[in-house]
Amino acid sequence: MDENGQNPKVIMRGHFSDTLSGLTTHPKLPEVVTCGEDCLLSVWNIGTKKQIIKKTRKLDFSAEALDISRVDGDYLAVGCSNGHVQIYDYNNMSLLHHIKDRTEAITVVKFCPNAKSLAVGGSDSKIIVYGVTNKFKR
């Protein structure tokens, strides 16, 4: 913003097209993760304001929600428009789990503070809680 609180200045541009729908910060690293309708899962360095290319992934479907486990930052959960939830190892961005038990869009994913559970909500108005320690089973 300028000195009058007007004219915001863009310091980072999130995605190339469509809507940016998910954003979360890493609990320990100076990084932000974003997702959107363009099917990109992007990781950004807050200090340099640049995308970390080696952590960026092209998704098969658009994503609407994401969260990082708060205790250690090891897990990244991504809720997709097709009702699937993907769990990534944040350190190397490898896909660990792919949960396919819904057909409606996932609109929110949240790890509990101790990172032992993941709550998932969708446009079907249902909330399902998955156990992290039992490989994301209900």
CATH number of the domain enclosing 25: 2.130.10.10
What percent of the chain clears pLDDT 90, i.e. is strictly above it?
A: 75
> Is residue 4 pLDDT above 80, yes or no?
no
93 assigned to some structural domain: yes
pLDDT at position 2, please? 56
pLDDT digits (tens, 9 = 90+) for 8-21: 765 555 555 678 88
pLDDT at position 29, please? 96
Distance of alpha carbon 113 from alpha carbon 123, whole angstroms: 24
> Is residue 137 pLDDT above 60, yes or no?
yes
> Is residue 58 pLDDT above 80, yes or no?
yes
Chain centroid, CA 35 distance in Å: 6
pLDDT digits (tens, 9 = 90+) for 92-121: 999 999 999 999 999 999 999 999 999 999
4 assigned to some structural domain: no
6 assigned to some structural domain: no
pLDDT at position 26, please? 97
Our count of domains for the chain comes to 1
95 assigned to some structural domain: yes
11 contacts 1 by C-beta, under 8 angstroms? no
104 assigned to some structural domain: yes
2 assigned to some structural domain: no
105 assigned to some structural domain: yes
Identify the domain containing residue 109 by its residue range. Answer: 20-131
3 assigned to some structural domain: no
Mean pLDDT computed over every residue of the chain: 90
> Is residue 77 pLDDT above 90, yes or no?
yes
Sheet containing 75-80: order of strands:
63-68, 75-80, 85-89, 94-99
pLDDT at position 15, please? 59
